[in-house]
Amino acid sequence: MASFDSTYWNRRIAFTRYRFAMVSRATGLELDSDVPVLGGGTITRNDDTRIKESADVSLASDYDFGPNFLRVFLDAEWDDGASVEVPLGTFLPVVPSRSVRNTASTYSVKLYGRLQELLDDSFAAPTTVPAGTNAVDYAASVCRGVGLEVIADSSDYKTTNVRMYGIGAEQNNSETGSTKLDCVNDLLSLANFRAAITDEMGRVVLKKYRDPAEMPISWSFVEGPTAKFVGEFSEERDYTSAANHVIVRYGSLSDGTGKVIVGEAWDTDPASDLSTVSRGRTITTAYTYQDLPEGKTDAEMTTYANARAKSLLSTAQSIIKRETFTHTYAPVGINQAINIDFPSGDVTGRFQIRTQTIRLVGGCPIECEARIFRRRASNG
């Protein structure tokens, strides 16, 4: 058998099969590799959902998972005998249902990513995070507190104000909810981190935000005889939420004055295809900052706020270009940057993966939606 190296993913996979293993919540070790999963099933990854991933499989018979997990593996093999097994996801098995046809029964199981554990759990009483707390370290401790393993980028960001979480604390942090996942993601946002995500082994990954243009390319989908994608793309350009009016609000919460300074910026340029003139309506995006910069008069602060709003207007006018296509398995996931080089279809450039739908059938086809944000304030 040939040894495996990562360059094999550039070649056509000759054979695929799937393995479904029950994993112990207590030890993290596999307990059973004979889970009676029927062929097929799907894994869905979506960056716009709170728990990021879910799956559906069918069982040939009823099966008691207890408190444990189901891990899905892909076994890939090539013509020269090289093979590799890679995990596709680790899930909580819930919501079983049974279908009966004549005398045969099948059982459908809904699988949720492990962030569901944070979403289902709330602090019993308001929990205070003092000012000066390392936000990422605290978020990681909340994850570990419910039994999740954490992989986190380092961060030295510390909270500047007291934060409160849990049932009854919503009035203090009106922008957050009461669950532990709300707490984790709010703290990550303060530190300029992405929302929590899980990897294929079910570990929580806390990563610093990086502009897609600065991210390394994880995979290149290139047209040609070894292309991994089907030559059919669905393209969409979405400017529905592109703003032509920005409001910036500075409110002092720490000095007791209750002072609020508001800045505004408008796009009223007739030459701009996103302006109030061209679109015939106002689309507003608002930004709120808790503390006023020190050492400025009210007039200076208003000028500062207006300038800030003008600066943010270009960011708020991003147009989203989406490309949806299908490819065989490649070791990439949501939020990662990819390169598409499909000149025959006039699709080229750097994109970021938003969703993946993985079908657990031969070849492991993946429907991928990738997007790019392009700022455009005028025609052309």
Share of the chain above pLDDT 70, in %: 86
* pLDDT of residue 10 exceeding 80: yes
Cα 259 from Cα 267, distance rounded (Å): 27
CA 162 to chain centre: 27
Cα 81 from Cα 230, distance rounded (Å): 25
> What integer is the mean pLDDT of 196-223?
93
Burial 93-116 (b: 16+ CB within 10 A, else e): beeeeeeeeeeeeebebebbbbbb
Among 180, 307, 337, 316, which residue's Cα sits nearest to residue 245? Answer: 316
> Which residue's entry shows tokens 């079910």?
202
288 band by pLDDT with thresholds 50, 70 and 90: confident
pTM greater than the 0.75 cutoff: yes
pLDDT digits (tens, 9 = 90+) for 72-96: 999 999 999 899 999 999 999 985 6
Rg (CA), the chain: 24
Higher pLDDT, 255 or 325: 325
Cα 234 from Cα 48, distance rounded (Å): 20
Quick check: 186 and 133 in contact, CB under 8 A? no
Q: How far apart are the first and last CA of the chain?
A: 55
- Of 160-174, 216-230, 266-280, the least confident: 160-174
Cα 222–225–229 angle (5° rounding)?
50
Quick one: which H or E segment has residue 94? strand 83-101
- Of 146-155, 196-205, 220-229, the least confident: 220-229
380 band by pLDDT with thresholds 50, 70 and 90: very low
Instruction: Indicate the length of the chain as a whole number.
Output: 380
* pLDDT of residue 34 exceeding 80: no
Which own/partner pairs from 92-101 qualify as long-range (CB within 8 Å, at least 24 positions apart)?
92/116, 92/117, 93/65, 93/69, 96/59, 96/62, 98/62
Cα 246–250–251 angle (5° rounding)?
140
Residues 6+ apart with CB under 8 A from 59: 35, 36, 37, 38, 96, 106, 107, 108, 109
> Which residue's entry shows tokens 């099948």?
106
Token digits for 347?
Answer: 């699709």
Cα 55 from Cα 198, distance rounded (Å): 14
pLDDT digits (tens, 9 = 90+) for 171-185: 555 456 789 999 999
> What integer is the mean pLDDT of 252-277?
76
pLDDT digits (tens, 9 = 90+) for 221-255: 999 887 888 877 887 776 777 788 999 888 754 44
CB atoms within 10 A of CB 79: 11
Higher pLDDT, 127 or 51: 51
